[in-house]
């Protein structure tokens, strides 16, 4: 697979969807930007997390986009390889509901 071609083709399809459903696309883009901003967790680490989820969810395009983004923020091949190892170990990514449960657990256990 040529990743540059794959991502270009996917981007073309996404652009078409954006024209058809601009509010949905804007909402997803806003969520993406807000979630991926560096904060308590750095941008590189967030890209590696997203990559692990993309791997676990078997999303080739997610893998490509997040590898590319991880490279842009300084991720090394070894860091990506370790991320792959974690994704393989987990066999799946957390869902939205389980993320909320994790925050609830943190709040209860940190009191």
Q: Class of the 41-111 domain?
A: mainly alpha
Query: Per residue in 8-49, pLDDT tens?
Result: 999 999 999 999 999 999 999 999 999 999 999 999 999 999
**pLDDT value of residue 58:** 77
Q: Is the pLDDT of residue 108 over 60?
A: no
**pLDDT value of residue 82:** 87
Cα–Cα distance between 76 and 67 in angstroms, integer? 10
Q: Model-level pTM?
A: 0.82
Q: Would you kindly state where each structural domain of the chain is located, as residue ranges?
A: 1-36, 41-111
Query: Per residue in 49-98, pLDDT tens?
Result: 998 888 787 788 888 898 889 989 999 888 988 888 787 777 654 433 33
- For 25-55, give one letter per residue: b (16+ CB within 10 A) or e: eeeeeeeeeeebeeeeeebbbbbbbbbbbbb
- The dihedrals phi and psi of 100, each to the nearest 5 degrees, come to -65, -40
Output 82 or 1, whichever has higher pLDDT: 82
Q: Is 61 exposed, middle or buried (0-12, 13-18, 19+ CB in 10 A)?
A: middle
């Amino acid at each position: 697979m040529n990743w540059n071609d794959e991502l270009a083709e996917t981007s073309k399809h996404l652009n078409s969807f954006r024209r058809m459903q601009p509010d949905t696309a804007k909402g997803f883009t806003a969520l993406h930007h807000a979630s991926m901003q560096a904060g308590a967790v750095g941008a590189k680490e967030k890209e590696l997390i997203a990559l692990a989820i993309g791997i676990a969810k078997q999303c080739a395009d997610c893998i490509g986009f997040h590898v590319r983004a991880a490279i842009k923020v300084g991720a090394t091949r070894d860091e990506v390889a370790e991320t792959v190892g974690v994704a393989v170990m987990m066999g799946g990514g957390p869902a939205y509901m389980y993320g909320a449960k994790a925050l609830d657990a943190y709040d209860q256990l940190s009191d």
